[in-house]
Amino acid sequence: MLIKCPKCQVTYELADDVVPQNGLKMRCHSCGEVFKAYPEDAIKEPLSEKEKKLNVLKIFERFSQTTDDSFTPETSEPPMVPAKVRIVHLTHYKNTINYLLILLLLLIMLALLYLMRFDIVRYIPKTEALYQKFGIESIYDGSNLQFMNIKTEEFVDQNISKIRITGVIDNPSSYQMKVLPVRVFVYDEDGRKLLEATKSLPQTRTFPNYKLPFEIIVVNPTPKQKNIHITFADTL
């Protein structure tokens, strides 16, 4: 059976039983044309020697001009695409770890600066201004200060009876402390409160291991016998 390419007219000789009734899909090795051959497309007259030689020459000319695999099935699978592989360098993780370590060290340093603020200000007084800038108290309040040698004296000033209270505020610690306002309570013999007054002292700080003398004057509520008690305002 002779089948001719519809494009370049190259003729192929096939066995009669190769081409089924529903057609045979072919590709011309000369021009690359893909076509379907049916039994009824067969050429009846045989080829001359000249036509056979011409067919062979066309086929070899086609092979000489292309590097394609002419025998590759048309339904061949598409070429495999290599999977994308993400390469992560170890330096990336090292840099991340270094940043985390630096952050951890900074947090530890800030925590130490906060916890040791009283000692830092004790040895470097100028750092108190830095703590104040951030609203952090770096001086102990006077809740641990102690009253000593308390004495009272009643006197008249401009026809007003008054009580003078004197004594010493003792700072037994090794830190500078704030001096809180002093609150004075005056009670009668039966324990009834006659007077309560809060007085701020002119001295706002006391140095380490220092005894600070003070004086407070309040109005005398009664000439009768009385008891006087003093304490710091914020300790009540």
- Between CA 69 and CA 114 the distance in angstroms is 79
Q: Does domain 142-235 have CATH number 2.60.40.10?
A: yes
Q: What is the DSSP string of 197-213?
A: EEE--S--EE-TTEEEE
- Between CA 185 and CA 229 the distance in angstroms is 5
pTM (predicted TM-score): 0.52
Q: What are phi and psi of 62, to 5 degrees?
A: -65, -45
Q: What is the pLDDT along the chain (236 residues), one digit of tens a residue?
A: 777 788 887 787 777 788 888 888 888 877 888 888 888 777 766 656 656 555 555 555 554 555 545 444 555 555 555 555 555 556 767 788 889 999 999 999 999 999 999 999 999 999 999 999 999 999 998 888 999 999 999 999 999 999 999 999 999 999 999 999 999 999 998 889 999 999 999 999 999 999 999 999 999 988 888 899 999 987 54
pLDDT value at position 93? 75
Q: What is the DSSP string of 58-103?
A: HHHHHHHH--S-TTS-TTPPPPPPPPP-----HHHHHHHHHHHHHH
